A and B are shown apart, each in its own frame.
Chain A
Amino acid sequence: MSNEIAVQHGVASHEVHEHHDGHHHHETFITKYVFSQDHKMIAKQFLITGIIWAIIGGLMSVLFRIQLGYPEATFPWLEDIFGHWAKDGKIQPEFFYALGTMHGTILVFFVLTAGLSGTFANLLIPYQIGARDMASPFMNMLSYWFFVLASIILLSSLFVQTGPASGGWTVYPPLSALGDASQGSKIGMDLWLVSLAMFVVSSLLGGLNYVSTILNMRTKGMTMTRMPLTIWALLFTAILGLLSFPVLFSGFILLLFDRHLGTSFYLSDIVLGGNILPNEGGSPILYQHLFWFLGHPEVYIIILPTMGLVSEVMSINARKPIFGYMAMIASMFAIALLAFLVWAHHMFVTGMNPFLGSVFVLLTLLIAVPSAIKVFNWLTTLWRGNIRFTPGMLFCVGFVSMFISGGLTGIFVGNSTLDIHLHDTYFVIAHFHIVMGVSAFMGMFAGVYHWFPKMYGRYMNNTLGYIHFWVTLICAYVIFWPMHYEGFAGMPRRYYDYSGWESFKHFVELNRVISFAAIVSFLVQLLFVFNFFYSIFKGRKVTTLNPWNANTLEWTTPINPGHGNWPGEIPEVHRWAYDYGKDGKDFIPQTEPVSKDESTH
């Protein structure tokens, strides 16, 4: 059936012949490396673009942590680099806000959404379901180039006179709607909106393709319930994106109207610089609804793919079937569904009707149930496994650890009563960095270390990988654990300098420790980047088809597959992906027919 589909849909019409070997069409440098339509190449493009963004975004956090850790000190070299943004060697307030805003935007959208989904959806969907490419390779390419366009626009906003957007990654109006309200609300804000609009287009093009490919182009025998959990996770992710990004888009459109056409969707009763503005009848809360209707699903758009990656890598390296495969799917489904019903937990303190608030508390706490099921399943997968501690596996364990820590604090902030105290404090910062930021990065690293051999035909260096893991894990806890205490003490997020506040003065030294750990963890990420690029060219070569002894289809392709992935026919699938340690066999690939005397799972 798979072949028929490839023929019928002209996915890659040159691949229709049964004995096609994937190499005899001509590729120039441009079509192979730049405007590539090959899912594997597009995956690498997304990954490397994401890495570049991660370095930029990470560096920004180092800069604002310098201010937070050393509010009194001056660093003349900062002025040499950033000019008036760091006058007298001190990061200026405007610069500080811009850094925070850009850090959030870049990491949430450009790295953990596009960089993550873009990489692994493109890499794994065709490989693991047994397809020669995406449903529409062309749209797939467009998706990447819209991402590049969004990137260029955002990058350019860093260099305009008044600086980039600086009202926080959520760009709440009225601050973001009024050009006169701050430096960052001028042209930088417009560039931000246009960039994000392009970003939405890119995600939609990508998401359409992912869903359509998964549902339509599976190879023979690859029923839905034989799909690896990575694919399930990517499917739910794409659906979430498809349904929530357009809502964000409409929120942006109204914001653009308010900025440029003098409308009052979000504006009412505002006094700016002593002048009463004419805008009447709008409500900034409306924006928050539109934003968080995307914003909450967005956090699951970030974490779901890594849940898939972790389940897969963990099962392979524990040499055990994933525990509760169906429960994993069901809980991802529940998470995806509930993700749409909890957005108002970001708005408990906006004067919401307390009864409505309690409904959202209930729904929010409900999400903890499927999350806990997943955690339980990962732990039971590890339990008594023959664990191979590869760097990928270590990052899986790290992921679970982080996800537990951050999930528990979710239950705190999910209480509307507790949230009155905790909202907009460092507690929230700690919560989401642990549960989303660090967890997602850990899952992504697990994926990169694990699939690197498939991407480049070489291994990454293990020793560097171990150093990377341990330093990252320790730093993550040193950075974010203390933030919970700061939050309990009421220390608000987004402030420029805490040393002048009687209540927060005593945190100055703690902040210094956090900043120090942040810098160390940034440096160790550079070690990863070095390892990554060095290994592309100089890493140990892969010599066997299936280096991890894994069951999934990507390991049945040649070590360096051409366009079309399999030189001959696409293999047929006979079983699920998790037959590890079954009937005394270490592993049974999905392509192996079920023998008569085999036990059923």
Chain B
Amino acid sequence: MTVERKKIHPYKFSLWLGLAGIIMMFAGLTSAYIVKRSQPGWESFTLPKIFIYSTLVILVSSVTVQVALKAFRERLMAKYRLFFAITAALGLLFISMQIIGFYQFHASGKRMIGLGSNPAYSFVLAIAGLHIVHILGGLVALSIVFFKAFGRKTRNYDVVPVELIATYWHFVDILWVYLFVFFSLLH
């Protein structure tokens, strides 16, 4: 029984397909946004500063997840765990900052929901909110893999789950950067 490694792992392949699906979802929303923007009644806006910082946080978390992956490949388990934990913490921080950002936005009179809300602001909440859900999904997957590594009696050096998570994490990171630039340019 030889194990050939020339083809892409089916799980990774599935992940890429799944990412294509997510792209379509956000493509749908952002094109709806573009169409809406060209119609009367649109109000332009600038995002609160905190979104710049949250963008930095998520960018850093991409680095840490990459470090974790590298550590895992080199079987530096302590380091891997540390950086996985940091990544998770940064993810949580990002989510909190986004939510604070929403509140600031809302408080500055740009009502996103309820009476007097404008679709322009509602879009920010819907799109960025949906993005948060995707980060949460990443966090759940991350924790599962993280705690599994502790739970096993035998040591498990299967790198695939870690690679999957790293890829996904980079993806949601880039996705946010795209959305951020998008909101900033087309406000």
Contact = CB atoms under 8 A, between A and B. Distances in A.
Contacts of B120: 281
A265 B122 contact: yes
B24 A247 contact: yes
Interface in A1-18: 1, 3-5, 7-9, 11, 16, 18
Contacts of A8: 3-5, 9
A588 B20 CA distance: 40
Interface in B93-129: 112-120, 122-123, 125-126
Contacts of A1: 4
A250 B25 contact: yes
Interface string A134-157: 011001000000000000000000
B36 A216 contact: no
A212 interface: yes
Contacts of A265: 32, 119, 122-123, 126
A264 B111 CA distance: 11
Interface in B25-54: 25-29, 32, 35-36, 39, 41-42
Contacts of B122: 257, 261, 263-265
Interface string A260-293: 0111110010000000001011110010011001
A263 B21 contact: no
A251 interface: yes
B14 A208 contact: yes
A211 B17 contact: yes
Nearest to A279: B117
Q: Which residue, of A16, A18, A290, has the highest number of chain B Cβ atoms within 10 A?
A: A290
B11 interface: yes
Nearest to A282: B119
Given A3-B1, A7-B1, A281 B14 contact: no
Interface residues of A, number: 50
A541 B36 CA distance: 62
B113 A261 contact: yes
B167 to A, nearest CB: 14
Contacts of A212: 10-11, 13-14, 17
A204 interface: yes
Nearest to B115: A278
Given A135-B11, A281-B119, A249 B25 contact: yes
A204 B18 contact: yes
Interface string A1-37: 1011101110100001010000000000000000000
Contacts of B11: 9, 135-136, 212
Contact of A263 (B18, B20, B117): B117
Contact of B28 (A5, A246, A283): A246
A532 interface: no
Contact of B126 (A7, A244, A254): A254
Contact of A208 (B17, B24, B125): B17
Chain B, interface size category, equals 35 or more
B186 interface: no
B86 to A, nearest CB: 29
B110 to A, nearest CB: 13
Q: Interface majority SS on A: helix, strand, loop or mixed?
A: helix
A215 interface: yes
Interface in A207-254: 207-209, 211-213, 215-217, 242-247, 249-251, 253-254
B21 A204 contact: yes
Given A289-B32, A290-B32, A135 B7 contact: no
A135 B18 CA distance: 14
Q: Which residue, of B3, B21, B22, B25, has the highest number of chain A Cβ atoms within 10 A?
A: B21
Nearest to B25: A246
Contacts of B112: 263
A5 B13 CA distance: 14
B181 interface: no
A3 B2 CA distance: 9
Contacts of B4: 1, 4, 8
A300 B123 CA distance: 30
A211 B120 CA distance: 37
B130 interface: yes
A567 to B, nearest CB: 18
B185 interface: no
Contact of A216 (B1, B13, B24): B13
Contacts of B32: 250, 254, 265, 286, 289-290
A1 B6 CA distance: 11
A262 B113 contact: yes
Q: Which residue, of B20, B114, B117, has the highest number of chain A Cβ atoms within 10 A?
A: B117
A253 B130 contact: yes
Contacts of B114: 261-262
Contacts of A289: 32, 35
Contacts of B14: 135-136, 139, 208-209, 211-212
Q: Which residue, of A254, A261, A281, has the highest number of chain B Cβ atoms within 10 A?
A: A281
Contacts of B125: 257
6 contacts: A216-B8, A243-B24, A257-B122, A265-B123, A281-B118, A286-B32
Given A253-B130, A257-B125, 7 more contacts: A207-B17, A211-B13, A249-B25, A250-B29, A250-B130, A262-B115, A290-B28
Interface of B: 1-5, 7-11, 13-14, 17-18, 20-22, 24-29, 32, 35-36, 39, 41-42, 112-120, 122-123, 125-126, 130
The 4 residue pairs across chains A and B that have the minimum distance between CB atoms: A246-B25, A247-B28, A135-B10, A281-B41
Interface of A: 1, 3-5, 7-9, 11, 16, 18, 135-136, 139, 204, 207-209, 211-213, 215-217, 242-247, 249-251, 253-254, 257, 261-265, 268, 278, 280-283, 286, 289-290, 293
